Amino acid sequence: MAENGKNCDQRRVAMNKEQHNGNFTDPSSMNEKKRRDREERQNIVLWRQPLITLQYFSLEILVILKEWTSNMCNV
C-alpha cells in the first residue's frame, strides 16, 4: 500500500468551472435546451395538440383541488 498517496494509480482530472457534482453543463447546450423548451411550450395549444393540452389541464386541476382540500382541512 502506498503511503500518503505516493505511487497511487489514481489521477486527478481537471474540472471545468461549469462542472458541478459530476454533471457537465455546457452553456451552449443549455441555451439550445432552453430554446427547444420554449418552442415546445409555444406549440402546446388546444388546436395543435389537444390531448397533451387536456392532460396538462387535468393535472393542474388535480393540483388545485389538492391544495383546496388541504386548505379546507386546516381551517
- The domains of the chain are located at 49-74
| pLDDT(44) > 90 | no
Can you name the residues that pair with 20 across neighbouring β-strands? 23
Task: Return the exposure string of 2-33: e unless at least 16 CB atoms fall within 10 Å of the residue's CB, then b.
Answer: eeeeeeeeeeeeeeeeeeeeeeeeeeeeeeee
Q: Is residue 40 pLDDT above 70, yes or no?
A: yes
* Three cell numbers, residue 7: 505511487
Cβ-based neighbours of 25, under 8 Å, separated by 6 or more: 18, 19
- Stated length of the chain: 75
Indicate whether 10 pLDDT > 60.
no
The pLDDT value given to residue 3: 57
